[in-house]
Amino acid sequence: MASVWKRDNSPYWVACYTGANGARLKKSTKQTNRTKALRLAMAWEDAARKARHGLLTENQARKVISEIVEVTSGEELEVFSVEDWFTLWLGDKKDVRAPRTHERYNAIVNAFLDSLHERKKVSIGYLNAKDIKKFRDLQLAAGKSPRTCNLEVKTLRAALNAARRQGLVTTNAAEALEMLPTEKSKKAVFTAEDIEKILEVASADWSGATLVGFFTGARLGDVANLTWESVDLSAKLINFVPEKTSHSEHPTKVVIPIAKTLLDYLMTLPSSDDPNAYLFPSLAGRNTGGHNGLSRQFLHILESAKLVSAARVKKKGEKGRIQSALSFHSLRHSCTSAMANGGIPVEVRQLITGHASAEMNAIYTHHELDRLRKAIDVVPVVRVPSR
């Protein structure tokens, strides 16, 4: 049975207990309080007895350690399972990341936890590089690209870095993995003739969204959810906060002059007294990704326009994405490429595409707006078919 005693020349109590090998051990508790010292000695002996009989499970070991910490510090040991920690991390990110970014995080975390099976219940400190590699290899085997797998590992790495900052783990298991080699994708662009082909087959809302994407470089989610409040036809300006930066500490507002072709088109749309009314109602509020998302729908439009039949490739595996050299994002590349080819300085292009800093976008003077208008005027004119 565990006991404690104290040397005459020491303020600390010494524990006497039976170790895992059956031998009697003496060890300083570093405690000056006899009650705390005895509790510590009893915890050590209990752990040793269970270990001697092969009964020291992870949960029991965690309980012993928690009791030791409570005795020595007066505070309970905060312990998270892998599942608990990643769930908590997702909750923390919900209010500081754009909804679509949080959806991506959620999908990655759920897939990772599924790959762990029962190991998701173990302490976060027991997670290792093999667990991360197993998950990545499963995603790769299912048909995901190396680039996507790298992004998923980076997401897990971010969650584990947060755990490390809180002292829950000493090392980040995801940092042990090197990034998979990837091929640099070529950024395809649309010509004015390509845009005209799209307009011939697209619906009214998709035609408008295509023109906005081509003449502003805005992302699909931002275009789909544009409201009339963001459009000033008299000043010939479109302004909005990109969803990608909307949850950042300093959201970046983008102000873009409206090109003549786009202005003429917007003037034909039914006006609304409601500033919150969407420009393209059939696209608003929908997810951009997924099998039924807007990105996939735009690919079908490109197929109808005979623009992607040769470029479209189905990746192997059930999780492989449909890849195309052209996508809605290519409209963004087309806009910036046209401005670059027209000699527009990079800082001006960044103002339009939303890559600039918050400070650069804070206030636009009349002179700056003139520079932006000249930049937009470089984008090729498109013939819009009458409906």
Per-residue model confidence (pLDDT) at position 251: 73
Whether 140 and 283 map to the same domain: the answer is no
Whether 118 and 55 map to the same domain: the answer is no
Residue with tokens 């923390």: 92
Q: Which residues of 352-365 are buried (b: 16+ CB within 10 A; e: fewer)?
A: bbbbbeeeebeebe
DSSP-derived 3-state class of residue 126: helix
Check whether 115 has a pLDDT greater than 90: yes
Q: Express each pLDDT in 312-338 by its tens digit.
A: 544 444 455 556 678 999 999 898 888
142 vs 289, which has greater pLDDT?
Answer: 142
Q: Is 181 a domain residue? A: no
Give the residues across from 4 on adjacent strands.
15
What angle, rounded to 10 degrees, do the helices at 146-165 and 129-141 form? 160
Q: Which run of H or E residues covers position 254?
A: strand 254-257
Per-residue model confidence (pLDDT) at position 314: 47
**Domain end: 38, 73, 108, which one?**
73
Cβ pair 352, 375 in contact under 8 A: yes
Q: Is 183 a domain residue? A: no
Report d(CA 39, CA 37) in Å as an integer.
Answer: 5
Q: What is the CATH number of the domain that holds 261?
A: 1.10.443.10
The pLDDT of 237-260, averaged and rounded, is 84
Cβ pair 61, 47 in contact under 8 A: yes
141 vs 57, which has greater pLDDT?
Answer: 141
Cβ pair 154, 162 in contact under 8 A: no
Q: Which run of H or E residues covers position 3?
A: strand 3-6
Longest dimension (CA), the chain: 101
Lowest mean pLDDT among 139-143, 208-212, 351-355: 351-355
The pLDDT of 19-38, averaged and rounded, is 88
Whether 276 and 366 map to the same domain: the answer is yes
The pLDDT of 332-351, averaged and rounded, is 85
Per-residue model confidence (pLDDT) at position 231: 94
Determine phi and psi for 98, rounding to 5 degrees: -60, 150
Domain span including residue 60: 3-73
Whether 233 and 342 map to the same domain: the answer is yes
Report d(CA 199, CA 381) in Å as an integer.
Answer: 13
pTM score, whole prediction: 0.61
Per-residue model confidence (pLDDT) at position 292: 86
Q: Round to the nearest angstrom and report the end-to-end CA distance of the chain.
A: 92
Whether 258 and 135 map to the same domain: the answer is no
Written as six digits, the tokens of 349 are: 């292009």
Q: Is 110 a domain residue? A: yes
Whether 372 and 253 map to the same domain: the answer is yes
Check whether 118 has a pLDDT greater than 60: yes
Q: Is 182 a domain residue? A: no
Strands 237-240 and 231-232: antiparallel
- How much of the chain, in percent, has pLDDT values that exceed 90? 44
Whether 315 and 369 map to the same domain: the answer is yes
Q: How many domains does the chain have?
A: 3
Closest CA to 38 of 1, 76, 77, 75: 1
- Model confidence at 65, pLDDT cuts 50, 70, 90, reads low
Q: Express each pLDDT in 253-279 by its tens digit.
A: 888 999 999 999 999 998 778 999 999
Whether 266 and 157 map to the same domain: the answer is no
DSSP-derived 3-state class of residue 287: coil
- How much of the chain, in percent, has pLDDT values that exceed 70? 85
DSSP-derived 3-state class of residue 195: helix
Q: What is the mean pLDDT of the chain?
A: 84
Report d(CA 65, CA 76) in Å as an integer.
Answer: 10
Q: Is 256 a domain residue? A: yes
Closest CA to 239 of 261, 212, 211: 212
Check whether 162 has a pLDDT greater than 80: yes
Whether 349 and 204 map to the same domain: the answer is yes
Whether 61 and 111 map to the same domain: the answer is no
Whether 354 and 244 map to the same domain: the answer is yes
Q: Which residues contact 59 (CB under 8 A, 6 or more apart)?
A: none
Check whether 238 has a pLDDT greater than 90: yes
Q: Is 186 a domain residue? A: no
Q: Is 213 a domain residue? A: yes
- Model confidence at 155, pLDDT cuts 50, 70, 90, reads very high
**Domain end: 176, 204, 220, which one?**
176
Q: Is 276 a domain residue? A: yes
Whether 372 and 227 map to the same domain: the answer is yes
Q: What is the CATH number of the domain that holds 112?
A: 1.10.150.130
Per-residue model confidence (pLDDT) at position 342: 85
Could you give the C-alpha distances from 313 to 82, 304, 328, in angstroms and in order? 37, 16, 16
Give the residues across from 6 on adjacent strands.
13
Q: Which residues contact 110 (CB under 8 A, 6 or more apart)?
A: none
**Domain end: 29, 52, 73, which one?**
73
